[in-house]
Each structure stands twice: as C-alpha cells, then as structure tokens.
Amino acid sequence: MSIASSAPVSDSVLECRALGKRVLVADGPLDLLADISFSLPEGESLAIVGASGSGKSTLLALLAGLDLASSGSVALAGTDLASLDEDGRARLRGRLAGFVFQSFQLLPELTAIENVMLPLELASRKGARDIAAGWLERVGLGKRLEHTPRTLSGGEQQRVALARAFCTEPRILYADEPTGSLDTHTGEKIADLLFELNRETGATLVLVTHDEALAARCSTSLRIAAGRVIEQRGFAA
Amino acid sequence: MKLALRQFRRGLAAGDYRTLIAALVVTIAALTAVGLFAGRMAKLLNTEANNLLAADAVLTADHPIPAHFAGAARAAGLVVAQTQAFPSMAAKGDAAVLASVKVIDGAYPLRGKLWLTGHAESATGAPPAGSVWLDPRLANRLNLKVGDALRLGNTQFNVAALIEREPDAALDFASLQPRLMMNAADLARTGLVGFGSRIKYRLLVAGPPQAVAAWQQQARSALARGERLEDVREARPEVKTALERAETFLRLVTLLAATLSGTAVLLAARRFAARRADAVALYVTLGATRAQIRGILLGELLLLFVFGALAGGALGWGAQEVLGWAVRDRLPAPLPAGSVWPWIAACGFGGVLLIGVAGPALLRLAATPPIRVLRRETTAPPRLWLTLALTGIATAALFVGVAGNAKLAAIVAAGIAGALLAAGLLGWALLLLFGRFAKGFAARIAVRQLARRRWLAAAQLGALAVGLLGLWLLTVVERDLLSAWEKRVPVDAPNQFAINIQPDQAASFDKAFADAGFAPPALQPMIRGRWVAQNGKPVDPKRFEEDRAQRLAEREFNLSWGETLRADNRLDAGTPLDESKPGYSVEAGLAKTLGIRLGDTLTFDVAGTWVSAPVVNLRTVDWDSFRVNFFVVGTRSLFAELPASLITSFHLPVERRDVVARWSAQFPNVTFIDVGEVLGEVRRVLELASSALRLVFGFCLAAGLTVLLAALETTAPERRREAAVMRALGASRAQITRVQWIEGAAIGATAGLVAGVAASVSGWLLAREVLELTVPWNWQLPLMSLATGVLLAALITAWERRQLSRASALRLLRDPG
C-alpha cells in the first residue's frame, strides 16, 4: 500500500518508501513489516497504532534509524538513513531527534538533571546544565533536579524523559508508548504535556501507541496489523 | 571523560557497581597487604638468619683479606668488622688444651648478639686489651675462673668473662675445639701469627639489603684464590630449609588470596558489563558515536581501576600495618620497610582481570544495536576467547610472578583447572541424571531452569568451586601443613651433638645419661672416609665448577651404615638398602651437586681400605629435624670391620647445660657441640612465619569470603526475574523458595565436593612436592567442603528470598537488578 501525505513532498521531514523488514526464523523468512510508504510534513503528528506484535515498535525503530530496513528506504530530513553508517545515523539522531520510551530509559545512577544533560553533552552543547534545568522547570520538576530515578514516581520519570527529549530542540520526536507504563490519570497528564511541548517547539511527532484516544490527538495515523498498513487517516490519497 | 567521570561518581554513590569496586579493591588490598607483609617478614627472617653469620655477608679467606673489599663496603655505606680464627694451645701452668681462638675487633658482631655468662646485656666490642673470653668447656678443662690468668703463645691474659652464646658459632661448626676470644690489638704480641699459620680470615659486612647485595656481587667478581663469600643458607642447611619453607608458605598464601579475590572480580565484572548494555543503547539512540561510547566505557574502566588501585593500595597498606602491629611483640626486631612492588603487582593483576573480563565485553558493547532500548534481548555476546585469553595471561603472569617456583604455580593452577573441569563434568552429569529422574514440581522446574541458563549456572558453579578451593587450600595450609612443619622442629628438638664416642664407651655413655636423669640417646656408627672414585675413575675435586662441590669433594665424608630408612629420610629413587646386597644410599641434594647418579659405583678410602659399592637409592633428608643424618649411608657389611666411632644428638634443657662439662671431663675424647643457637634460629623463623601466616590467613579468609559472596550475588538477577515470572503466574513463595533451594543446593554441593577433593589433593601434593612435609591425607575435607558449599548456597538463597519478599513481582519483572 502506498500513501501520500496531503502536504508537498519537499516539506517532508520523514519519508519512507516501500519499507520492509524481514527476519529469518526457524520456519524460514518472516516479514515483520512490508511495503510501507508515507511522507510526513514538518510539524505534523503521526500516530502508529495496532495490536501488540503488529510491528509498531519495529516501524518506529526503522523510522528513527535504530534498526535498518531489509527493503525500501527511510529519509530523515532529506537524508537516506541507509546511506549512513551506524555513527552517521547516531549523529543525525543527535542533531534532529528526541526520544520518549514506554520504560522511560533513564540511567538509574544519574540524577534527573544529569539524565537531561546527557544528549546535550553528547552533542557538546555549551551551558548544558542551565538548559537542562530550564527544561526540568518547564516539566514541573524544578525542585527535583538532583533526585535519581529510583526516588521519582513513574509519572515524574516520564517528565524527566520528556525534558530530555525536548531539550535539544529536536525537529522530530519519537515516542514509543509514552503512557504505556503509567496509570490512566498520570498517563493523561503526560500526554497533555507531550502535546503541549510538541506544539510549543513545533517538532514533528511520531507516536507509537495502542491507546486510541491518544492516537486521535495526532493529525495523521497509520493502523498496522501483521506488519502491513491496514488503515490510514489524515494523509492525502 | 566528563560523562565517564559522572557515571563513575554516580555509580559509586548509587551502588550500581559496588560489588565490582568492592571485589577490585579487596583484590588489590589483599594482594598488596599479603605481598607487602610477606616481603617484610621474609626480609626480617633473612636478617634474623644472618645473625648466625654475625653479619649480612661474610668474606672468608686463608690469607689476610685485601683492603679493597672493606674499602668498597665502607664506600657503599656498609659497616664492617674483621675476625681471625685459628687453633692454638691455651695453657694454665702445665696444663694445656687446644682452643679455637677467635680474634675480634670493636665492631663485632654486626648482627646477632654475643652473650657472656652473668651479664644482663649482650656484649659489644672485643674483650679489653690483655683479657680474653672463654668457652666454659675450656675454663672447665683448665680449671679457670673469671679473673684467673691464662697463657696464649708467649703472652699472659686475664680471663674477663665466660661465653654463653656466640652468634656465628655455626660457621666454625667443623672446628670442635672450645672457643677463646681475644682483642685484635693483642694478636701481634702473642707471637702466634707467622708464616704458615692456619688462620681463617673473615670480613663481616652489614647494612641495607640492596647495598649488601651490590657489594656481594662486586666482591664475587673480584675473588682471588682462597677467598669465598659465605652464606648462612650454605653454612646451615637447617636454616636454609626453614627460610625456604617460610618463603614458600608466604607465597602460597598470596597466591590463594589472589585466586579468591580474582574470582570475585571476574564475576562482578561480567555483571557490570551486562548492566552497561542498557546505558550504551541509550547513548547510541541519543546520538553518541562508537568512538564516544568507547571513550566513555574505557574512561569509566580507567577510573574504576584508578580508584581500585588507590583505595586497594591504601587499604592493603593499612591492613599490613595492622598485621605488623599485631605481631610486634613476637618480633625480634622491627619489621624492615616494604617495597612498592607488591602494590604494583597487585594493581597489574587487578587491572588485567578487569580489562580481561570487562574490557572485551565493554568494547563489544560499543557495537550494541540501539534497538536494545526497545527490545532488551538484543545484546551482542562478549568475545569469550578474548576474555579467556586475557584472564589466562593475567593468571599465568601472577602465578609465575608470585609463586617464584614452577612446581608451586603448577600445582595450584592444576588444582584450579582440575576443579573447574570436574565441576563442569559433574554438573553436566547431574543435570542429565536429574533431568531424567526428577520428581515433583520444584525439582522439575529447578532442573529445567538450570538447563536453560546453563552458562550462567556454569559460571556460578565454577566461581563457587574455585572460591571454595581457595578457602579450603588456605585451611589445609593453616591446619595441616603448618602444623606438620611445627611438629617437624619441636621445641625439644636435639640441640647438642656428641661425636667421637668409642664403641667400648657406649654402655658407660648410656649410664652417664641415665645418672643425669636423661633417656639414653640413640648412638649411630660414623666412619670417616675420603671419596676417591666414581665408576672406577679417580675423583678430582678441581673438575667441579661449583665452589660447594669442590669443598665437598675435598673434605672427608662422614659415612654410616644401617639398612633401615629413618623417619626423617624419604626415598626419592631406587630401592631400600638390603643387607644381602652391598650398596650406598646417597642424599639427593649431595648427589645433584656432585653429579652422582643412581647405579654409579662409589669408592671411599676408609683408613687405607677402599670400599666400593653401587648407589642403590637417593633419599631426601629433613635436615631441620636436628637429628644425626649422613650424606652417605652404606650396608652394614661394607663397614662392619672398619674402625668406627659413634655419634648422637639429644636435647638438653638450657638449665642443665652444666652436665656437659661433667660429661666432657668423664669422656675427654668425646666432643660435645652445641647447636642450640641454630635450633633457636630455625624455631624463630618457624614461629615468626607461622604467626604471620595465621594472621594473613584470617585476613584472606575474611576478605575472600566477603567478596565471593557478594560476587555470587551478582548472578542473582536472572534468577530473580524467573522467580517473579513464577510468582506472577501464581506460584507460592514456598514453591519458589523450594525451587531456588534445590538449584542452590545442587550448585553448592557440586562445587563444594569438587573443591574439597581438589583442595585435599593439591594440599597433599604441595606438602609433598613443594614443602617437603609429610601430611596425612585429609579425608574429611571433601565432606566438610560439600556441607560448606550447600551452606553458602543456602545463605545466598536466603538473601535472595529476603529481596524477593520485599519487592513486588512487577518491580522484579521490570528491574531484576
């Protein structure tokens, strides 16, 4: 299936063509994803929805260059990810992307502010501490800068993760089930914060979720089953 | 580096890799402490043994010693003293007795103490000019008292004091005459020294060990005919054995300490590397390049190492100071300063272990796919061969370096390798067996889980086996080997020799002992003979390159006969002596020095009669038993018709020394030799070494056990996760505990049994092959070890159970670490 976005292709920050991922299992080759094409304009938000095991997270990994496709291509801000080596992809992510994960992925031994400083320091940004402190203030944790993840609640940990994701002012934000590990109330608050920050920064959002309400807040969506797009919303035909 | 520093700092604070740091610090601390303490003790023991030389080094000559030797010593900051010894008649009125005269100067003795009877303090310097000090035997024979006059050559002397103990008497062991000491300033006017006098000149040197060693090396290259360097080890085989044994014991304990704590580092480093995988995947996701990641990981490793080296070094230094403080009352002198080498070696070992285990795994991590942040299971496996190669090199280097003895290193290494192999095989066999026959839920699950993560189980099993082996070997060393040594040289070991007893005096000699309240001593025949031929070819002492061999070949041998192998002798090769077949039994060390092989025909000239027979066996002699022993023993038929005297050794309590004077008067032809000084020295070496060893042993045991337990605990997260799954599925806590119990008991019992057997075999081999001690086979050890293995596993299981009951299944599923 091929889908074109309603926006002109030249404005696309993320574009994939005939994307596929095939792995070898005991019974032979297995297609985790097949024939996925779309292009996402700058500032839009995309929800990837589907049941567990449908291939949502695999697609997110390919779109972010965390894994390589078996066929087809992904272009991030005009750069074909397959043309870069692992380091090149890492640099590109460092420059353009932010991440939020279901399991927060904070380093347990670092404090909240040190976790937020991490991507800034990897990119050798000056004034990392001030920038990180500002973002923690923004997500409501201004008074908990020196707390380690163990002493923070799940909601608070995800706030730290949001601050870490936005502090580099990414052009694109990848979020993998950002509310999946949280209770409904906390999840809603985190989702509100995520969309609010996304709006403020103007970043493009790629969101993997099985939460229909959350998906409905995105301007476009893809529904995946067994590695294939079975439904799409918000894309121009 | 900033990130590495932060990771390290936070890691320290949060306890993320507390176990690895603890293991590394304890490894470096234990090796530093034991190495440093052992080194200082060894130095002290050597200095102590040098008391028997009255110096650190001695140059002997049959002519006045050229001044350049003393000049070089003084220039190197060493102190020197000179002595001369020669036989001369000492007379009072018409009575005259042959005395062994020793001329000393004001500096004598440089080491050890000279005690005079009735003096509370040891003597320093020579007797005042015009006076002499006498051996009580000499005073007794000439009926002299302190204050009496005595004639020596053409000069009258005043007897100023009687000699109680002379530090370097052992050097003149061969001279059987009683001692007379005089001031060097008096020598010229006695008129005793002239051309052709048989004088033994000695230059005594003492000072810092390095300077002494340098002087010895320089002197050795400048030796002329008739000059040689004396060494206490060469002069007294008993002392040599004691010193070497003490050194071997200390080295062995160091080696075991390293084995124990090294195992802990290996386990903890493995866990550390595994935990770092998550962080690395996150770094890559957030835009870190491989170079950046490698930099962070290596930086972290470097910081860990530096911390371990500094903290371990400081802790080790402190610990050995405490050890030194604890034994201070038992030391004859303050412990000499230690060197920095044990610390450097400890850091080297710790560093290589760290890099060997964590290094390859961490470098491999740099290639961790970033997708791991989404899917945990995608971890790149570490390069096993690189880990094995690096740790192998580290262990081999340490073993060779620390052991300083190929046999010692080989036995301990073989023990470890054997234990690992046996543990693997036994574990595998048990798994197969139980897999087939296990009944009940808990047993089935336990077997299935062990089989599924068999590599983790194998790592745990191996570590526990090696750890227990280390602990048990330490125990064997402390309990069996050290006691065997102590029993070897008891407090009441013989301290007197009586020689030249005529066969017809045997009965009255026995009676004299009985009258004085002593058990009659065992008399042994002794024949003096010169070695004249080997395999029919005349013996030419000059053909031996080695100094000692030349002297041995030139000297008359003390020979004996008797077919029974004595308790302190051990057959190395050949068959026991047999009355029906004439033959010789030769001491193995002598045979090696003189190039005598089994089957060679030796000929001795005994009072003009040539006695030839083949060498039928070679035997090792425990010289430190202080009993009468002979280099060469023949069958009775060889010597039965030849003139022989009798010799014996016995223990005489210090307060009964007076009887010797009485016996000397009763048996004027018999010479009594006091070896109390040498025995005392050997006992001192033994006591010092064993009290040091017992302390070090306790230290190693405590440190080793602590880190081993902690490190074994690092293998727990995997099991915790399984427990959480079972609990989530509705298994009761009791069921889970049972599963963990069965797993733990299986691993503990296997490791315990294997370690116990390996320790008892290695201990027995070490005693026999390296320390030359006889110890009974330790049968209880494997059983005790089995029980300990189960107990240790139980402790770990109990600990895990506590953790488990504290945390929710959800938390454990999310973060088993």
Stretch B131-153: mean pLDDT, rounded?
Answer: 87
pLDDT at B701 over 80: no
Q: Is A98 helix (H, G, I), strand (E, B) or coil?
A: strand
pLDDT of amino acid A164: 93
Residue range B343-367: average pLDDT?
Answer: 77
- Confidence bin at B713 (pLDDT 50/70/90): low
Q: CB pairs below 8 Å between A and B: how many?
A: 86
CA dihedral B670, B676, B678, B679 (to 10 degrees): 120
Predicted pLDDT of residue A5 = 41
- Band of the pLDDT at B386, cuts 50, 70, 90? low
Lowest mean pLDDT among A16-20, A71-75, B264-268, B316-320: B264-268
Predicted pLDDT at A48: 94
Where in chain A are the domains?
9-233
> Are A60 and B374 a contacting pair at CB < 8 A?
yes
Residue B154 exposed, middle or buried by CB count within 10 Å (0-12, 13-18, 19+): exposed
Number of Cβ within 10 Å of residue A237's Cβ equals 6
Bridge-based pairing of strands B155-165 and B149-152 is antiparallel
Residue B200, classed as helix, strand or coil, is strand
Mean pLDDT of B778-798: 83
Q: Report pLDDT for A3.
A: 46
The region of weakest confidence among A135-144, B416-425, B471-480, B782-791 is: B471-480
Q: Does the pLDDT of residue A221 top 90, yes or no? A: yes
Residue B817 has a pLDDT of 44
Q: What pLDDT was estimated at residue B38? A: 79
ipTM: 0.84
Q: Are B615 and B584 in contact (CB under 8 A)?
A: yes
Residue B816 confidence (pLDDT): 47
pLDDT score at A4: 43
Q: How far is A236 from chain B (nearest CA, A)?
A: 31
pLDDT of residue B609: 87
pLDDT for residue B44 is more than 60? yes
Instruction: State the distance between the two ends of chain A, measured CA to CA, in whole angstroms.
Output: 11
- Out of B98-112, B371-385, B614-628, least confident range: B371-385
> Tens digits of per-residue pLDDT, B439-455?
777 777 777 777 776 77
If one compares B699 and B539, the residue with the highest pLDDT of the two is B539
Q: How far apart are CA A74 and CA B753, in angstroms?
A: 59
Cα B534 to Cα B549: distance, rounded to the nearest angstrom: 14
Is 50 exceeded by the pLDDT of residue B116? yes
What is residue B539's three-state secondary structure? coil
Q: Of the candidates B36, B59, B146, which has an alpha carbon nearest to the alpha carbon of residue B110?
A: B59
Q: What is the pLDDT of residue B155?
A: 87
**Cis peptide bond prior to B109, omega within 30° of 0:** yes
> Is B2 near chain A, with CB under 8 Å?
yes
State how far the Cα of B501 lies from the Cα of B505, in Å rounded to an integer. 6
Interface test with B, best of A70, A109, A208 (most B CBs within 10 A): A109
- Extract the tokens encoding B607: 């009072």
Per-residue pLDDT at B377: 52
pLDDT value at residue A79 = 92
- When mean pLDDT is compared across A168-177, A197-206, B474-483, B594-603, the lowest value belongs to B474-483
Q: What pLDDT does residue B290 have? A: 82
CA distance linking residue B137 with residue B660, whole number of Å: 8
Pairing mode, strands B200-206 and B79-92 = antiparallel
Distance CA B544, CA B553 (A): 9
Mean predicted confidence (pLDDT) in B685-704: 75
What is the structure's pLDDT at B608? Answer: 86
Does residue B382 carry a pLDDT above 70?
no
What phi and psi values does residue B546 have, to the nearest 5 degrees?
Answer: -70, 135
Q: Which residues contact B258 (CB under 8 A, 6 or more apart)?
A: B27, B30, B31, B349, B398, B402
Query: Can you read off the two tokens belonging to residue B441?
Result: 């839920």
Contacts of B193 (CB under 8 A, 6+ apart): B84, B86, B187, B199
Q: Cβ B374–A66 below 8 Å, yes or no?
A: yes
Place of tokens 């806590």: B733
Tell me whether residues A66 and B285 touch, CB distance under 8 A. yes
Rounded to 10 degrees, what is the CA torsion of A169, A173, A179, A180? -140
The single-letter code of the amino acid at B633 is V
Measure A204 CA to nearest chain B CA, in Å: 17
Query: What percent of chain B lies above the pLDDT cut of 90?
Result: 9
Burial status of residue B714 (CB atoms within 10 A of its CB: 0-12, 13-18, 19 or more): buried
The pLDDT of residue B808: 54
The CA distance from A237 to A217, in Å, is: 21
For residue B780, what are the CA distances in angstroms to B473, B476, B571, B750? 13, 11, 28, 16
Beta bridge partners of B497: B649, B673
Q: Nearest CA to B681 among B234, B38, B41, B52? A: B52
Average predicted confidence (pLDDT) for chain B: 80
Rounded to whole angstroms, the Cα distance separating B457 from B480 reads 33
Say which residue, A50 or B807, is predicted with more confidence: A50
Question: Does B75 contact A at CB distance below 8 Å?
Answer: no
Inter-chain touch A122–B292, beta carbons under 8 Å: yes
Pick the CATH number of A9-233 from 3.40.630.30, 3.40.50.720, 3.40.50.300, 3.90.1310.10: 3.40.50.300
Where residue A234 falls among pLDDT bands split at 50, 70, 90?
confident
B730 touches chain A (CB under 8 A): no
Give me the residue from A91, A103, A148 closest to B289, CB to CB: A91
A26-35, B97-106, B805-814: the lowest-pLDDT one? B805-814
Phi-psi region of B93 (alpha: psi -120 to 50; beta: other; left: phi over 0): left
Give the mean pLDDT of B263-281: 76
Q: Which of B22, B40, B43, B20 is nearest to B32 (CA)?
A: B40
Residue A109 with chain B: CB contacts under 8 Å: 7, 10-11, 13-14, 16
Rounded CA-CA distance B182/B128 in Å is 8
pLDDT band at B131 (very low <50, low <70, confident <90, very high): very high
Weakest-pLDDT range from A40-44, B144-148, B176-180:
B176-180
- CA torsion A99-A101-A106-A112 (nearest 10°) is 70
Q: Which residue of B has its CA nearest to A117?
A: B3
Residues of chain B numbered 234-263 and touching chain A (CB < 8 Å): none
| B370 at A interface, C-beta within 8 A | yes
Chain A interface includes B278 (CB < 8 A): yes
CA–CA separation, B593 vs B545, rounded Å? 10
Residues from chain B contacting residue A68 (CB–CB below 8 Å): none
What predicted TM-score, i.e. pTM, was given to this entire model? 0.71
Task: Collect all residues of chain A within an 8 Å Cβ-Cβ radius of residue B370.
Answer: 65-67, 90
Residue with tokens 């599923």: B813
State pLDDT tens for residues A78-108.
999 999 988 888 889 888 999 998 888 888 7
**Dist. CA B602–CA B612, nearest whole Å:** 6
Mention every residue, 6+ apart, whose C-beta is less than 8 A from residue B664: B137, B140, B141, B670, B672
Confidence band (pLDDT; 50, 70, 90) for A7?
Answer: very low
Mean pLDDT of B768-783: 81
Q: What is the pLDDT of residue B401?
A: 72
Tell me which chain A residue has its CA closest to the CA of residue B17: A109
Beta bridge partners of B226: none
CA distance B5 to chain A (A): 11
Give dist(CA B685, CA B688) in Å, integer: 5
Residue B811 pLDDT more than 60?
no
- How far apart are the C-alpha atoms of B88 and B157, rounded to whole Å? 14
Residue of A nearest to B293 (CA): A122
Backbone angles phi, psi at B154, to 5 degrees: -110, 25
Contact between A142 and A132 under an 8 Å Cβ cutoff? The reply is: no
CA dist B551 and A82 (Å) reads 84
- Six-digit token pair at B7? 């990771």
pLDDT above 70 covers what percent of chain B?
A: 88
The answer for residues whose C-beta is within 8 angstroms of residue A175's C-beta and 6 or more apart is A99, A100, A101, A165, A194, A205, A206, A207, A208, A209
For B88, the 3-state DSSP assignment is: strand
For residue B203, the model assigns a pLDDT of 94
Please answer yes or no on whether A119 and B286 come within 8 Å at the CB atom. Answer: yes
Q: How far apart are CA B506 and CA A160, in angstroms?
A: 99
Cβ-contact B162, B135 below 8 angstroms: yes
Task: State yes or no: pLDDT of B15 exceeds 90.
Answer: no
Using an 8 Å CB-CB cutoff, list chain B residues near A99: 285-286, 373
Tokens in use for B532?
């004249």
Q: Touching check for B807 and chain A: CB below 8 Å?
A: no
What's B443-468 look like in SS3? HHHHHHHHHHCHHHHHHHHHHHHHHH
Predicted confidence (pLDDT) at residue B438 exceeds the cutoff of 90:
no
Contact A57 B374 (CB under 8 A): yes
Strands B79-92 and B95-104: antiparallel
Mean pLDDT of the region B648-665: 82
Measure the CA–CA gap between B576 and B563, rounded to whole angstroms.
7
Residue B219 pLDDT > 80? yes
